[in-house]
Amino acid sequence: MTEPLDSLDYAKNLDKKDTLRHFRSEFYIPSNTIYLDGNSLGLLSKRAEHSLQEVLHSWKTLGIDGWTQGEHPWYYLSETLGEMSASLVGAEPNEVIVTGSTTTNLHQILSTFYQPEGHKNKILADELNFPSDIYALKSQLQLHGLQPETHLVQVKSRDGHTLHEDDIVSAMTEDIAFIVLPSVLYRSGQILDMEYLTREAHKRDILIAFDLCHSIGAVPHCLSKWNVDFAFWCNYKHLNGGPGSVASLYVNQKHFNTSPGLAGWFGSDKNKQFDMEHTMFPASDAGAYQIGTPHLLSAAPLYGSLSMFNEAGIENIRAKSLKMTEYFMELIDKQLHFYDFQIANPQVNEKRGAHIYLEHPEAARICKALKANHVIPDFRSPHGIRLAPVPLYNTYEEIWKTVQLLKRIMDEKLYKKFSNKRDVIA
């Protein structure tokens, strides 16, 4: 006899059939905790720990010779990690480089490729993007002597949660020179149609870049096939690269050999870098857009993590992610419909990223009550609860237990023990 969907046995049966379940043992999971905040900071894996230890060992035993010797020679690590990342974004291996931070990479893209001329001088973005991207866009406009109030165009959301691609296309007017958009909206988890938006941008002779922070490691991409110009992302969320992990940059090969706007010696051709000439000879691939020496101890864990993702396969990860978020929403509909929770993430598979986004007037309090009961959520002001079931280490049973806990928090009004405002870090 088939168990009802909202039963514990149903969840356990889903876990038994899960072909990725063995990866859970690869992670350090906090004791007696259900960790659903992997879309803010992914958990440490044993492989990431091992690859960090390998780089430390090279430093310990080789000293400066670690640059060219050892298990992972430091001099080539950024390129090696870029090659390992390429399959996750659908890029050629030489189109990806692991370098800098997310915002630094955005600044590099804009400093190099945003070239306002005449009336074609505005940047198009959206009103739902992560603030750091908007700060960077405004500062780049100011560096060109342009006012953000007039030259940064932000597409409006119709519902406060999602964007309509046709609204974005309508905003691609003849004065737009550059577009920066998220692949997945960090609050609602909506996936934008990157292929369509890229095609429409190119019809109008506009360059386009995507922020992949909330899609990398969770959603497959085909950046080269879609002819996307540029992309940038962090590696510490779904990719489990660790807090402060070095970020990544994608440059379509059609843009290679454009001199970097922010030049630094690690963007040099590797065969010429140590000639120490004052004339720069940039690398002939995405490596040209590095600036300084790689932050090796912040990049090293990514080697172990990426090996695991390539083993699991991004298509398999996406399939499980969709199944987990769909199951989460079904349980919420069945068991929490009396408590004023609103599912604010897209519910169709093609538009949904890798997390659930619930809205509730008491969201901050509810998040604190969840955490007090060993379930780690993510609060987003003013009323948002983000819950990210990660395919490599979360289980269906954990989803079931989280919904039961939410029901208990509401029934027993456990949230009233807490103030309804965010902590310093939400």
Tell me which of 3 and 185 has the higher pLDDT: 185
pLDDT in tens, 372-383: 999 999 999 999
Among 37, 126, 211, 378, the one annotated catalytic: 211
Our answer to whether residue 378 is catalytic in this structure is no
Q: Which residues contact 52 (CB under 8 A, 6 or more apart)?
A: 242, 297, 300, 301, 304
Confidence of residue 310 (pLDDT cuts 50, 70, 90): very high
CB 409 within 8 A of CB 366: yes
Return the SS3 of 97: strand
Kindly state the average pLDDT of the residues 70-75: 92
CB 141 within 8 A of CB 148: yes
Strands 342-343 and 356-359: what pairing?
antiparallel
Kindly state the average pLDDT of the residues 86-108: 98
Does the pLDDT at position 336 exceed 90? yes
Residue 361's pLDDT is: 97
Residue 422's pLDDT is: 78
Kindly state the average pLDDT of the residues 190-214: 98
pLDDT in tens, 125-148: 999 999 999 999 999 999 999 999
Among 236, 250, 357, 396, the one annotated catalytic: 236
Among 130, 196, 281, 418, the one annotated catalytic: 130
Kindly state the average pLDDT of the residues 19-40: 97
Residue 2's pLDDT is: 78
Mean pLDDT of the chain: 97
Q: What angle do CA 198, 200, 204 make, to 5 degrees?
A: 110
Residue 423's pLDDT is: 81
Confidence of residue 420 (pLDDT cuts 50, 70, 90): confident
pLDDT in tens, 337-363: 999 999 999 999 999 999 999 999 999
Among 187, 237, 352, 365, the one annotated catalytic: 237
Residue 330's pLDDT is: 98
Strands 207-211 and 230-233: what pairing?
parallel
Biggest alpha carbon–alpha carbon distance for the chain: 76
Our answer to whether residue 386 is catalytic in this structure is yes
Phi and psi, residue 422, nearest 5° = -70, 155
**Which parts are annotated binding residues?**
102-103, 130-133, 211, 214, 236, 265, 293
Residue carrying the six token digits 């001199």: 259
Percent of the chain surpassing pLDDT 90:
96
Which H, E and C letters describe 383-401, residue by residue?
CEEEEECCCCCCCHHHHHH
Percent of the chain surpassing pLDDT 70:
99
Query: Which residue type is seen at 58?
Result: S
* Cα–Cα distance for residue pair 101/78, rounded to 1 Å: 13
Does the pLDDT at position 426 exceed 70? no
List strand residue ranges (DSSP E) for 149-285, in order. 152-155, 176-182, 207-211, 230-233, 248-251
Is this structure's pTM higher than 0.85?
A: yes
**Which parts are annotated binding residues for pyridoxal 5'-phosphate?**
102-103, 130-133, 211, 214, 236, 265, 293
CB 409 within 8 A of CB 415: yes
Our answer to whether residue 130 is catalytic in this structure is yes
Does the pLDDT at position 224 exceed 50? yes
Among 368, 380, 386, 396, the one annotated catalytic: 386
Kindly state the average pLDDT of the residues 256-267: 96
Confidence of residue 1 (pLDDT cuts 50, 70, 90): very low
Kindly state the average pLDDT of the residues 399-405: 98
Does the pLDDT at position 425 exceed 80? no
Our answer to whether residue 211 is catalytic in this structure is yes
* Cα–Cα distance for residue pair 318/323, rounded to 1 Å: 9
Burial of 391 (0-12, 13-18, 19+ CB in 10 A): buried
Domains and CATH numbers, the chain: 8-32+314-417 (3.90.1150.10), 50-311 (3.40.640.10)
Which H, E and C letters describe 277-345, residue by residue?
CCCCCECCCHHHHCCCCCCHHHHHHHHHHHHHHHHHCHHHHHHHHHHHHHHHHHHHHHHCCCCCCEECC
* Cα–Cα distance for residue pair 232/98, rounded to 1 Å: 10
CB 183 within 8 A of CB 212: yes
pLDDT in tens, 230-240: 999 999 999 99
Tell me which of 70 and 147 has the higher pLDDT: 147
